[in-house]
């Protein structure tokens, strides 16, 4: 298993580009199931979750071929199975995105229930309610969703849930509605940019959709979707993560292709904390020339601050003097990262759906364990800001949603290496980490996986 070893305390500096959005790429790939023709997708991020979706589509008989860097061609003409097995679905919740397209294509689907995960209870009742409103007969048997319909029928439905709308639920219903007979009106639809991107892709494939990006989406069903070419939107969560990392290290970073319109609230919050945020035709520029101030962050459905940025904000706020808070209204239990941040010397108190952070005491490097995708990013940010060496373990979570993050951070001047937990150099390495308290701060340097030192290396 790989881990990231980070020597903190260096401001990030330079220019970095983000990849395509994971949360747009996954439903768009799934939507190809409903298209009998060849789809060419660009800016597909090289992520473990994308590879899992590729495996899942292949298991259904879809042809998925890489065609150059970050491009794939997907042809579902020969798809023949409507069964998404537990073994693949359990690896990634977004596998549920095949449910709507399978129903649209075959009039039946058997998809394993994805189950819970480390960020809290994650039911799919709203997905099922929406698809049932379109005429699907749905049962849960032996851990599988079994759905059947003759032809899907357009309907008026609402996807409002106790924590807002549902992003992948809106995607599922949207994909099914495109080929349903007649008009569908989805109320309380998710407004996230990734849903908009899926909708734009479906329009490129012949769908008739209005109201994307609002809470009411109208779809006039068509008889079939056709071949298309599409570029996935750049990843707003990756851009936010890099911007927050720049602020946490008091650095200065330019992200030329950041989707700034989708980051409005994130950027406003960074500004409120005293970060210099400049949006121009050159892209998103983050600078931290002033002393930062404490802020209260509330994660909400779009256009609010995304729950997927909550952990990264928490890491930043541990570095800011004074009392800040982070509240998550979407996943109220998503605070596993807080206890790992404590290991680095942070002061955080959890109260229900909120955490209070008493920031400003310098974090110190430590061994920490990632619990989920965005928690991993938060721990890397904290490690970059901390004094000394940190070792972030279980980074397979990170690889699900960030393509080669350590390489991007290295180009910004971070000292960060990916090493295998099992490789022969490990004992020497751990000794190095364990001894760091005896070493003068800021002078220790992690050995690389090839055994060489990366001290004073400005990669
Ligand atoms: C998507 C994103 C994830 C992000 C989340 C919230 C993908 C692949 N993943 O996940 O990164 O953190 O949106 O922005 O796009 N809920 C119900 N019933 C349902 C569905 C959801 O009660 O049927 C609840 C959830 O428990 C949660 C809230 O609604 O509290 C939002 O969940 P949802 O938007 O569905 O998250 P995902 O689509 O799974």
**CATH number given to 2-19+235-434:** 3.65.10.10
Contacts of 212 (CB under 8 A, 6+ apart): 195, 196, 199, 200
pLDDT of residue 1: 84
The number of the ligand 1 atom at minimal distance from the alpha carbon of 126 is: 23
When the pLDDT of each residue in the chain is averaged and rounded to a whole number, the result is: 92
Specify whether 149 is catalytic: no
Name the active-site residue from 97, 117, 178, 281.
117
Contact criterion met (CB below 8 Å) for 223 and 6: no
Q: Give the pLDDT band of residue 458 (cuts 50, 70, 90).
A: very low
Nearest CA to ligand 1 atom 32: 166
Return the DSSP state at 206.
T
18 pLDDT higher than 70: yes
Whether residue 47 is predicted with pLDDT greater than 80 in this model: the reply is yes
Percent of the chain residues topping a pLDDT of 90:
87
Ligand 1 centroid distance, CA of 364 (Å): 34
pLDDT number for residue 211: 98
Weakest-pLDDT range from 117-126, 144-153, 258-267: 117-126
Query: Which CATH fold topology does 22-231 show?
Result: UDP-n-acetylglucosamine1-carboxyvinyl-transferase; Chain (3.65.10)
Q: Is 440 helix (H, G, I), strand (E, B) or coil?
A: coil
Please tell me the pTM assigned to this model. Answer: 0.93
* Structure confidence at residue 122 as a pLDDT band (50, 70, 90): confident
Q: What does the pLDDT read at residue 77? A: 95
pLDDT for position 452:
38
Specify the domain boundaries for CATH 3.65.10.10 within the chain: 2-19+235-434, 22-231
Residues within a 6 A CB radius of ligand 1: 23, 26, 93-94, 121-127, 161-164, 166-169, 190, 194, 306-308, 330-331
pLDDT digits (tens, 9 = 90+) for 404-426: 999 999 999 999 999 987 765 45
CA dist 439 and 126 (Å) reads 54
Beta strands in 306-441, from DSSP E residues, in sequence order: 322-328, 347-351, 354-359, 367-369, 389-393, 415-420
pLDDT digits (tens, 9 = 90+) for 297-310: 999 999 999 999 99
In this predicted model, what pLDDT tens digit does every residue of 131-144 receive, in sequence order? 999 999 999 999 99
Confidence of residue 100 (pLDDT cuts 50, 70, 90): very high
Q: Count other Cβ atoms within 10 Å, centred on residue 114.
A: 21
Confidence of residue 126 (pLDDT cuts 50, 70, 90): very high
pLDDT number for residue 447: 43
Residue 65: pLDDT above 80? yes
The angle that helices 167-177 and 125-133 make with each other, rounded to 10 degrees, is 20
Per-residue pLDDT at 434: 53
What confidence score (pLDDT) does residue 114 get? 87
Distance 444 CA to ligand 1 centre (A): 41
* CA 440 to ligand 1 center in whole angstroms: 45
């Amino acid at each position: 298993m790989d881990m990231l070893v980070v020597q903190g305390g260096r401001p990030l500096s330079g220019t970095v580009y983000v990849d395509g959005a994971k949360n747009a790429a996954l439903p768009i790939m799934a939507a190809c199931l409903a298209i009998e023709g060849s789809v060419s997708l660009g800016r597909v991020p090289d992520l473990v979750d994308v590879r899992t979706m590729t495996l899942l589509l292949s298991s259904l008989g879809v042809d998925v071929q890489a065609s150059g860097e970050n491009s794939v061609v997907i042809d579902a003409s020969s798809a023949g199975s409507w069964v998404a097995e537990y073994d693949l679905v359990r690896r990634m919740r977004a596998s549920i995105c095949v449910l709507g397209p399978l129903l649209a294509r075959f009039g039946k689907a058997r998809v394993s229930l994805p189950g819970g995960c480390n960020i809290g209870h994650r039911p799919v009742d709203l997905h099922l309610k929406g698809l049932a409103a379109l005429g699907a007969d749905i049962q849960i048997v032996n851990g599988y969703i079994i759905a059947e319909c003759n032809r899907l029928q357009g309907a008026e439905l609402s996807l409002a849930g106790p924590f807002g709308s549902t992003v992948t639920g809106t995607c599922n219903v949207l994909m099914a509605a495109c080929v349903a007979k007649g008009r569908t009106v989805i109320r309380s639809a998710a407004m996230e940019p990734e849903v908009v991107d899926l909708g734009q892709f479906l329009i490129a494939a012949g769908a008739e959709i209005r109201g994307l990006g609002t809470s009411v989406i109208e779809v006039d069903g068509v008889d079939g979707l056709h071949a298309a070419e599409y570029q996935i939107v750049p990843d707003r969560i990756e851009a936010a993560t890099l911007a927050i990392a720049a602020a946490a290290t008091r650095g200065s970073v330019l992200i030329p292709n950041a989707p700034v319109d989708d980051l409005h609230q994130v950027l406003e919050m960074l500004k409120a904390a005293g970060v210099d945020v400049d949006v121009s035709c050159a892209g998103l520029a983050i600078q931290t020339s002033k002393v930062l101030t404490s802020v209260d962050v509330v994660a909400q459905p779009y256009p609010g601050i995304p729950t997927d940025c909550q952990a990264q904000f928490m890491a930043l706020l541990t570095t800011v003097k004074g009392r800040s808070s982070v509240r998550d209204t979407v996943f109220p239990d998503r605070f596993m990262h807080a206890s790992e941040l404590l290991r680095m010397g942070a002061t955080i108190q959890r109260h229900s759906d909120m955490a209070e952070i008493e920031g400003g005491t310098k974090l110190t490097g430590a061994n920490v364990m990632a619990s989920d995708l965005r928690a991993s990013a938060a721990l890397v940010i904290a490690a970059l800001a901390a004094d000394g060496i940190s070792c972030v373990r279980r980074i397979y979570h990170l690889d699900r949603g960030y393509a080669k993050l350590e390489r991007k951070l290295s180009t910004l001047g971070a000292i960060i290496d990916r090493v295998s937990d099992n490789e022969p150099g490990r004992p020497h390495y751990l000794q190095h980490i364990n001894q760091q308290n005896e070493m003068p701060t800021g002078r220790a340097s992690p050995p690389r996986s090839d055994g060489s030192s990366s001290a004073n290396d400005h990669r």
